[in-house]
Amino acid sequence: MTTAERADTMVLGAGIVGVSIALHLQERGRTVVLVERGEPGGETSHGNAGLIERSSVVPYAFPRDLPTLAALASNRSVAVRYSPATLLRMAPWLARYWWNSAPARLDRLGRAILPLIERSIAEHQRWTQAAGTQALMREGGWIDLYRRKGTLEQALRSAKALACHGLAYDVLGPVELAAREPGLVQGAAEGAIHWRDPVTVSDPGGVTRAYAALFVARGGRLLRGDALSAQQDGDGWRIEAGGRDWRTREAVLALGPWSKEFYERLGYRFPLGFKRGYHMHYEIAPESVPRHPICDAQAGFVLTQMQRGVRLTTGIELADRDAPSDPWQLDQAEQVARRRMPVGRRLDAEPWRGARPCLPDMLPVIGRAPQHPTLWFAFGHAHHGFTLGPVTGRVLAEAMIGETTFCDLRPFSAERFSHGYHANA
């Protein structure tokens, strides 16, 4: 009988969250195996706009004003697209999302996640030199475009309301915007807000792979295997991966949108929903390359320079995680984008599609599994997985080691969902 390999912890999932947890545990003296079926950062961590979003101190709330709701209900909005059948199935989830987006509740939720947002850049930067990702990181923030004066004024009022957070931003009229982004088509917007605090990257999947390579260089084990096949083994956990049988004392579930299959097998029921998104890369003349990521606030897409070309990332598609792709949203966003910037031909054979794992209170689940003391959760980061991966790794590692966590983890506890566990499942 083959003797099992042993380690302290297995981390299931090598996206930005899982890789970051593995690195932080390793830095605290734990032996860690990181399990992934493909390349690190090859799924959701690959397909985003590459924003380390320090300025997003308010969670992405459900719209509550009637004009916006009416526009979304038409299902012709470029920013939000939905499958009618999925919308019916998601109705209870959307109702909870809407309820949590009321101003007082949103303020409470924003204060809960603020410590993570505030440290998001610093926790990425702790590995930049060692991982060799300096050339992929760009300072200078990103720019929100507004096509109408009314929406620009409304956005400016919202920005001023964030003064207590000390965020740096510039309000740009058409002349200032043209000077800052000369590649934009003349008259592309009424104005813009340039958020200067965020850091952006030109290859988010590449950054994740570099962090994973750093973990391996420091002695960690990156194993190819099906993370969903991990099983309880007495008080610990076991998995066959990398051609060997492994046993660990603890496990961390960091499988992003695939976490659902694992926790449901153990009897947990969380209201995890999916906001899908697409991206495509485009050719562009050197003189027209965007100097900063540019978001069309109304259409919900981002244009940003990546190593492969200019990437267009779409807004939100409410659909089942694995439902067939629908080209409508990307096609419409591309038409709008061509009126903003002279992007050329498509560079990818097919659009990339991913699913952001979201909970209706806009907070991730981070912490110990209530009914399994040796299992830890880290999923549900919604729009901010790449932003919050390293800082999630830090706070979860602190909790697992028994250190004092730098922020209160109770708002992220799985136990906030009172009906989250069914013993007979």
Whether 96 and 187 map to the same domain: the answer is: yes
Number of CB atoms found within 10 A of residue 99's CB: 12
Which residue spans within 283-318 are E strands per DSSP?
294-296, 301-305, 310-313, 316-318
Q: Is there a domain that residue 123 lies in?
A: no
Task: Enumerate residues 6+ apart whose C-beta is below 8 A from 381.
Answer: 17, 256, 356, 357, 364, 388, 389, 392
How far is it, in rounded angstroms, from Cα 89 to Cα 323? Answer: 14
214 plus 260 within the same structural domain: yes
The amino acid that residue 207 corresponds to is V
| Closest to 45 in 3D by CA, of 379, 394, 396 | 379
**C-alpha closest to that of 15 among 201, 212, 199, 225:** 212
Beta carbons within 10 angstroms of residue 372's beta carbon: 20
Distance (Å, whole) CA 330 – CA 303: 12
Rounded Cα gap, residues 135 and 144, in angstroms? 24
On whether the CB atoms of residues 239 and 229 are closer than 8 A, the answer is: yes
264 plus 341 within the same structural domain: no
122 domain-assigned: no
Q: Where are the alpha helices (DSSP H) in 222-281?
A: 259-265
Exposed e or buried b per residue across 376-400, where buried means at least 16 C-beta atoms within 10 angstroms of its C-beta: bbbbbbbbbbbbbbbbbbbbbbbbb
Based on the structure, what is the number of domains in the chain?
2
Q: Do 266 and 277 belong together in one domain?
A: no
Q: Do the Cβ atoms of 90 and 318 come closer than 8 Å?
A: yes
221 with 261, same domain: the answer is: yes
Asked whether residue 148 falls in the same domain as residue 214, the answer is: no
Does 305 map to a domain? yes
Task: Spell out the residues 6+ positions from residue 240 whose beta carbon is closer than 8 angstroms to its own.
Answer: 225, 229, 246
Say how many C-beta atoms besides its own lie within 10 A of residue 84's C-beta. Answer: 8
For residue 356, give Cα distances in angstroms to 8, 32, 279, 318, 320: 29, 26, 13, 10, 11
Spatial separation of the C-alpha atoms in residues 304 and 314, rounded to whole Å = 12
Q: Is residue 131 part of a domain?
A: no
Same-domain pairing of 385 and 351:
no
Which residue among 356, 381, 402 closes a domain? 356
Question: Is 382 part of a structural domain of the chain?
Answer: yes
Could you tell me the CATH number of the domain that includes residue 177? Answer: 3.30.9.10
- Structural domain contains residue 403: yes
* Residues 278, 263 share a domain: no
Structural domain span for residue 260: 5-45+205-270+361-416
Judgement on whether residues 183 and 96 belong to the same structural domain of the protein: yes
What are the backbone angles phi and psi of residue 43, rounded to the nearest 5°?
-110, -120
Mean pLDDT, the chain cut into blocks of 10 residues (425 residues total): 85 98 98 97 92 93 86 88 90 95 96 97 97 96 94 93 93 96 94 96 97 98 97 96 96 98 96 96 96 95 96 96 95 96 97 97 97 97 97 98 97 85 47
Helix (H, G, I), strand (E, B) or coil at 18: helix
Decide the pairing of beta strands 244-253 and 372-379: parallel
- DSSP-based three-state secondary structure for 243: coil
8 A C-beta contact, residue 425 and residue 269: yes
Same structural domain, 92 and 72: yes
